[in-house]
Homo-oligomer: A and B are copies of this chain.
Amino acid sequence: MAPEKEVAPKEDGQEEEQVVNPWEVSAGKGGIDYDKLVDQFGCRRIDAALVDRVARITAAPPHRFLRRGLFFAHRDLSELLLDLYERGEKLYLYTGRGPSSEALHFGHLIPFMFTKYLQDVFKVPLVIQLTDDEKFLWKNLTVQECKRLARENAKDIIACGFDIQRTFIFTDFGFVGGKFYENMIQIARCVTYNKAVGIFGFSPEDHIGKVSFPPVQAAPSFPSSFPHLFGDNDQLRCLIPCAIDQDPYFRMTRDVAPRLGYQKPSLIESRFFPALQACGENTKMSASDPNSAIYVTDSPKEIKNKINRYAFSGGQDSVELHRKLGANLDVDVPINYLNFFLEDDDELERIKMEYKEGRMLTGEVKQRLVTVLSELVARHQRARAQVTEEIVDAFMAVRPLPNMFD
């Protein structure tokens, strides 16, 4: 899995057709057209009524990522999953990450922060797949390095606060085999090479490791891949929170599921998290540019410096003009970030109003964002420091989770 994403804008003169798949996201000049993506993929928008329904069913306020539209699309969330959940059916959560870098930024953590919320409100088991094999296949890294990164990333994931009584974290190099491998092979038999090319865009010069990989990411969608957790319950429903670029994997999985006698997984999908320099949703994150994102390893000074220097502002060029015209919130990155990370709805609305009408300056908004992110990062760093090797081993132990539905 690779929930974070660099979005490359098309060069001048190129067609503005957007490409979104697990390894490439390129947008037209106006940024990703999410409406078009939803139509193209065949998933559905999450509307206010669905957010309300989640709140009602879970008897908890919806996560700000949900109520503010970061998680914006779904498959079978209302029709199937919530209906069944209301009738008392159980479900489990599945998410993951391709461990290609050591230091994670906020974009990397978003699916995990949201998954923790889902685990808390639904009180259900969760499997987290670290696709170290995928990263080996796509990046120029050694097996050892991929395995090491997976373990380091697991510490950041655990630091998000998952309940060890309900969470199984695994790496592919560590866990593939047995029933999981049986499911991989069963899935692979249902997908032709032509079909895989249609879904993932492989080329004949791609190595066969790439072609072999989609069943590895599909397998955790089926509970029978985890006999130590779910025993013979091969009809348990699965809900997958992920970024929308992962949709192709699960379109394939949902297509295959009925042929194997399994349930289709449901999905809840996020937009891409914008880079600091982003203009609107035309996110341009660069893995080679540490200034394009706030990392969970950044110091308060680094956070302050990055936001003040690099966060794209929708404010006006001069104070006078700003007081007169106000800020353009649609392209303002600090507002976008506050939208994701400032919990207090009233304060957020107040800031947006003041800023839009020119009464608040960019520097003031940035100052608030620095405080919010510094607190989040500090909290994360404290939590991660508590994650020992033994705790990682405990989360990754192949074990039953006796009270995972309690």
- A positions within 8 Å CB-CB of B: 133, 136-137, 143, 172-178, 181-182, 185-186, 188-194, 196-197, 202-209, 211-212, 214-215
In the complex, which residue of chain B has the Cβ closest to the Cβ of A137?
Answer: B189
Report if A182-B143 is in contact (Cβ < 8 Å); known contacts: A206-B192, A207-B190.
Answer: yes
A-B CB proximity, top 3 nearest: A177-B177, A188-B209, A212-B212
CB pair B209–A189 under 8 Å, yes or no, is yes
Contacting A176 at CB < 8 Å: which of B133, B137, B177, B202? B177
In the complex, which residue of chain B has the Cβ closest to the Cβ of A180?
Answer: B177
In the complex the two chains form, what is the Cα distance from A256 to B313 in whole Å?
52
Report if A137-B185 is in contact (Cβ < 8 Å); known contacts: A197-B204, A204-B197, A212-B212.
Answer: yes
In the complex the two chains form, what is the Cα distance from A385 to B204 in whole Å?
50
State the majority secondary structure of interface residues on A. helix
Residues of B within 8 A of A188 (CB): 137, 207-209, 212
22 pairs, CB–CB < 8 Å, chain A vs chain B: A133-B181, A136-B186, A136-B189, A137-B189, A143-B185, A143-B186, A173-B182, A175-B177, A177-B178, A177-B181, A185-B209, A188-B212, A190-B207, A192-B206, A193-B193, A193-B203, A193-B204, A193-B206, A193-B211, A208-B211, A212-B212, A212-B215
Residues of B within 8 A of A190 (CB): 207
Distance from A251 Cβ to chain B, minimum over Cβ atoms (Å)? 15
CB pair B173–A193 under 8 Å, yes or no, is no
Residues of B within 8 A of A133 (CB): 181, 185
Distance from A324 Cβ to chain B, minimum over Cβ atoms (Å)? 59
Report if A207-B192 is in contact (Cβ < 8 Å); known contacts: A176-B176, A186-B143, A212-B212.
Answer: yes
In the complex the two chains form, what is the Cα distance from A202 to B208 in whole Å?
12
CB pair A181–B191 under 8 Å, yes or no, is no
Residues of B within 8 A of A205 (CB): 192-194
In the complex the two chains form, what is the Cα distance from A190 to B177 in whole Å?
22
CB pair A202–B209 under 8 Å, yes or no, is no
In the complex, which residue of chain B has the Cβ closest to the Cβ of A176?
Answer: B181
In the complex the two chains form, what is the Cα distance from A212 to B210 in whole Å?
9
In the complex, which residue of chain B has the Cβ closest to the Cβ of A185?
Answer: B133
Given contacts A176-B176, A193-B203, 15 further A-B contacts (CB under 8 A): A143-B182, A143-B185, A172-B181, A176-B177, A185-B209, A188-B207, A190-B207, A191-B207, A191-B208, A191-B209, A192-B205, A194-B204, A208-B214, A209-B215, A212-B212
Distance from A122 Cβ to chain B, minimum over Cβ atoms (Å)? 31
Name the residue in A174, A185, A186 with the highest tally of chain B Cβ atoms < 10 Å from its Cβ. Answer: A185
In the complex the two chains form, what is the Cα distance from A203 to B193 in whole Å?
8
In the complex the two chains form, what is the Cα distance from A191 to B210 in whole Å?
10
In the complex the two chains form, what is the Cα distance from A137 to B174 in whole Å?
24
CB pair B189–A204 under 8 Å, yes or no, is no
Residues of B within 8 A of A212 (CB): 188, 208, 211-212, 215
CB pair A208–B215 under 8 Å, yes or no, is yes
Distance from A208 Cβ to chain B, minimum over Cβ atoms (Å)? 5
